[in-house]
Amino acid sequence: MHWTDEGIVLGVKRHGEASGILELMTRAHGRHLGMVRGAFGARMKPILQIGNSVSATWRARLDEHLGNFAVEGLRLRASGYFSASHAIYGLTHLAALMRLLPERDPHAALYAEFERLLERLGDPAAVAPQVARFELQLLSELGFGLDLTQCAATGARADLIYVSPKSGRAVSRAAGAPYAERMLALPAFLRDDAAPASVRDLADGFALTGFFLTRYVLEPRGVMLADERAHFIVALARVLDGAA
């Protein structure tokens, strides 16, 4: 058994003296693990950094085996993130999100968006709303998509400013007013890619996606949102507030 694909490094764990178990998010083969000999050697270590794009050939005697990777670097972007705290935290957070996907289950659209986000991590104003939308996309890919297109109570498609924490559906201003304290805020940028996103809007957007990620994906697995996500949001707010 063997295949060759492009992938993005999610992490590598030491195995023995110098080898490692590499975790990749690949374009056509999903999240995939394999052994890399010399992973912590001088040649391979810079290549196998989280966020780098690589060409990987996987080989195993049987499909269910761990197998071995032969890896060549394609886009070694990780070193470019070291000067910006929001980029470092964002990179770690995005990799953690991808680990929520089932192993060896292809998600081509999610892979493409993951790659686009990594290319834009250095631009906090551009990447901040995209990461929140990416979390919505991940929820949808895992089978927990939210309906933000029309009001759950009236069917209206205008003035949608809330989301019901029970149903995950949008609610209009008028229908949600009596229950506003129990609703989640729905910032416009999560429904319209062209809508601007203020620091407050971003906070509301991440509160919304974090709520449903926790409820539907993390709590059933007995885990919580990683600290890197909170650090990423704080670092973004600090940069964006300074630029305002």
Task: Specify the pLDDT at position 244.
Answer: 52
Q: Which pLDDT band holds residue 17 (cuts at 50, 70, 90)?
A: confident
| Residue 178 included in any domain | no
Q: Within this chain, do residues 204 and 92 fall inside the same structural domain, yes or no?
A: yes
User: Cα dihedral sign for 27, 32, 35, 41?
Assistant: positive
d(CA 127, CA 223): 26
CATH number of the domain where residue 9 is located? 2.40.50.140
pLDDT, one tens digit per residue, over 108-131 is: 999 999 999 999 999 999 999 999
Give the residue ranges of DSSP H helices in the chain: 85-98, 108-120, 124-141, 173-176, 199-212, 227-243
Question: pLDDT tens digits for 55-79?
Answer: 999 999 998 899 999 999 999 998 8
Query: Would you say how long the chain is, in residues?
Result: 244
Do 85 and 195 have their domain in common?
yes
Average pLDDT, the chain: 95
Coil, strand, or helix at residue 38?
A: coil
Domain that holds residue 233: 81-148+186-243
pLDDT tens sequence across 158-180: 999 999 999 999 999 999 999 99
Residues 102 and 212 in one domain: yes
Calpha distance 231→237 (Å, rounded) = 10
Give the pLDDT confidence of 27-40 residue by residue, as tens digits: 999 999 999 999 99
- Within this chain, do residues 24 and 96 fall inside the same structural domain, yes or no? no
pLDDT of residue 141 exceeding 70, the answer is yes
pLDDT in tens, 186-232: 999 999 999 999 999 999 999 999 999 999 999 999 999 989 999 99
Q: Which of 76, 91, 106 is the last residue of a domain?
A: 76
The pLDDT score that the predictor gives to residue 79 is 87
Number of domains forming the structure of the chain: 2
Please check whether residues 235 and 197 belong to one and the same domain: yes
Residues in CB range of 190: below 8 A, 6 or more apart: 132, 133, 136, 148, 205, 208
Q: Give one word for 5, left, alpha or beta, with left for phi > 0 and alpha for psi -120 to 50.
A: beta
% of the chain residues with pLDDT over 70: 99
Residue 160 buriedness (CB in 10 A; 0-12 / 13-18 / 19+):
buried
Q: What percent of the chain has pLDDT over 90?
A: 92
Q: Is position 170 within any domain?
A: no
Same domain assignment for residues 199 and 218: yes
Residue 53 phi/psi, 5° resolution? -95, 135
Cα dihedral 18→19→24→29 (10° resolution): 160
- CB–CB of 144/165 below 8 Å? no
16: confidence class by pLDDT, cuts 50, 70, 90: confident
- What CA–CA distance (Å, rounded) separates 110 from 27? 9
Is residue 25 within 8 A of residue 11, CB to CB? The reply is no
Quote the tokens at residue 243: 């630029």
End-of-domain residue from the set 15, 50, 76 = 76
Q: What is the dihedral of CA 225, 228, 230, 232, to 10 degrees?
A: -140
The band of 243, judged by pLDDT with boundaries at 50, 70 and 90, is low
